Structure 1
Amino acid sequence: METFWITTASVLWGGGTGLLIPRAAYRLSVPPDEPWRAACPAGHPITGTGKGWLGRARCADGDSYGPSTPVLVTVAAVVCAVLAAATDARPELVVWLVLAPVGVLLAAVDFTAERLPDVVTLPLAVITLALLGVAALLPGVDGSWRNALFGSLALGASYFVLFLINPRGFGFGDVKLALTLGAVTGWYGWGILIVASIAGFLLFSVYGLTLIVARRADRKSAHPLGPFLLTGACVGVLLSSFGS
């Protein structure tokens, strides 16, 4: 029964925070050399909650724009439900639920603009390690803050090497995202970190091959990697529950 209520609360949290994502996703989905969007497609200045950063993306005349709100709400709710089912009542669940909406935001931006903004990725890494440090002090945790720290550094360094080898196929934003993903998966140990990383790249490969088969892309087409690395991290958290 406890698991049911935890999962239900997590779904409500995911759905509620998902409502806050569309406007930020729209504003951040710009090429690297352009400033964040300050107006809707019709030219109306963006204002509202969080100085115009949080909430649904709607023009002054009521028209919606940017990524689909129902899609983002659904994805955020599902992700939170999966994390809750995998983590149960352990303290680190609070950390995963805080990170989940930000992960959905980053995935939406990367799918739209093939970009992972520094304004989100860098603070996210610091916040993740800080929150896991607090969680590690509480009873009932199933992880190690030291492993999370080393995992963050190791995965970040590994992705940086991949970036140096193939900068056209591997963005520097993915390197900075790796600091967070390494902490999340490293929390459960090196095995989960490795499996989660492999899962992310496999999902990315399947996505690319599917587009090629459907003739919507070719072998030289660029695709966003971030959403699949994030999904791989969720797979890692889910797999960690089988060893608990």
Structure 2
Amino acid sequence: MSTATGLDSDLVVVLVAALWGAATGALLPRAAYRFSAPSGEAWRERCPGGHPVRGWLGRARCGQCAAGESGHSGEFGRSEQSGRSGESGRSEQPGHSGESGHSGGSHRPGREPGQPRRSADARYGPRTAPLALVTALVCAALAAAAGTRPEVAVWLLLAPVGVLLAAVDLKVRRLPDPLTLPLAGAALVLLGLAALVPEHAGEWSTALLGALVLGAGYLVLFLVNPAGMGFGDVKLALAAGAALGWYGWPTLMLGTFAGFLLGALYGGALLVARRADRKTAIPFGPFLVAGAFLGILAGAYAA
């Protein structure tokens, strides 16, 4: 009876986590668009059609563009390339557009200037469904691994931010400071609170040391090869180190290795497909996040 009750509780936690992930993931597209600004530029405040984008959460779709209203699209319709980023430290590759959505500055064939824009043009950022699905799967997996232990609440709060960071870095090779630094602080504070609740499975002291150790390690890599490792990765490593360190040093090493392995496999696949060469820079943030996710899963199951 107790076993069945435990299984029922775990299933409820997983279902709630999946719903939470889907709901929070559905709020990420607008933030992903606004943070996906090319290097050296401020966060986006207008859609590609030139209309103001209000707020940070919600779907990335412009009602004014859907209604056919004209905006000031000259500034936002160009194909933007980023150079060296002050946050991620990587170079944007030629031909990569800095915009997350459609380019609004050029007129589509068959539509004269001044004619209403089609409703399809109203979407200016990533689609809602993929982000919601990915976040839901991540949250459900974390809940399945951690069960009803108090740290599961921490993972569910941090996971949407990790998905958002990965999406932004994939788009413009930039890890925004307003996300990376608060994420590290939030991870340590929330894990500190979880350590006060009975039945937790980790240690806050190793979470703190893990943040410092992994951050220092990435800082060394950045100083040795600034072109290959961005300073944004160093800041993100603080949060990853805290999360992985919660379950101990073996989990920290496993998550770190997994991140580098995934990055190497991705780079190797690009080389085999002749879509990159040995000098091509790739965004490492998504692999850092993915490695931390896999490490947390392993640590939670083993705890």
Which bin holds the TM-score, normalised by the shorter protein? over 0.9
Shift of 1:241: 3.2
Aligned equivalent of 1:14:
21
Render the CA deviation track for 1:71-114: whole Å, top value 9, x for unaligned.
11111001001101110000000000000000000000000010
Please state whether the residue corresponding to 1:140 is helix, strand or coil.
Answer: coil
Q: C-alpha separation between the residues in 2 aligned to 1:241 and 1:194?
A: 14
> In the alignment, what sits opposite 2:279?
220
Q: 1:61-72 counterparts in 2 under 5 A?
A: 61-62=65-66, 63-72=122-131
- The 2-side partners of 1:104 and 1:89 are apart by 23
Aligned partner of 2:173: which letter? E
Q: Give 2:220's match in structure 1, choosing from 161, 170, 176.
A: 161
2:60 counterpart SS class: coil
* Structure 1 residues 118-197: aligned runs within 5 Å: 118-197=177-256
Corresponding residue SS for 2:58: coil
Aligned to 1:103: 162
Unaligned runs of 5+ in 2: 1-7, 67-121
Of residues 94, 116, 128 in structure 1, which corresponds to 2:175?
116
The residue number in structure 1 matching 2:62 is: 59
**Greater percentage in helix:** 1
The answer to whether structure 1 residue 35 and structure 2 residue 38 are counterparts is no
1:41-52 map, 5 Å: 41-47=48-54, 52=55
SS at match of 1:217: coil
Distance 1:124 1:243 in 2: 25
Q: Distance in 1 between matches of 2:56 and 2:204?
A: 32
TM-score (norm 2): 0.78
Measured in 2, the distance between the counterparts of 1:64 and 1:5 equals 35
Quick one: percent identity of the two aligned structures? 58
**Aligned equivalents of 1:17 and 1:76: distance in 2?**
8
- Aligned-partner residue type, residue 14 of structure 1: G
| Offset of residue 219 of structure 1 | 1.4
The one-letter code sitting in structure 2 at the alignment partner of 1:56 is R
**Residue 12 of structure 2, aligned match among 5, 30, 37:** 5
Amino acid at match of 2:58: G
Distance 1:169 1:34 in 2: 22
| Range with bigger deviation, 232-241 or 145-154 | 232-241
RMSD: 0.9
One-letter code aligned to 2:46: A
Large movers: runs of 4+ above 4 Å: none
The equivalent position to 1:25 in structure 2, one of 10, 32, 38, is: 32
Distance 1:221 1:204 in 2: 13
- 2: distance between equivalents of 1:160 and 1:102? 22
CA distance in 2 between partners of 1:3 and 1:132 (Å): 21
Normalising by structure 1, what TM-score? 0.96
Structure 2 distance, partners of 1:232, 1:143, is 18
Task: Compare CA radii of gyration and give the structure with the larger one.
Answer: 2
Measure, in 2, the Cα distance between the counterparts of 1:95 and 1:28.
24
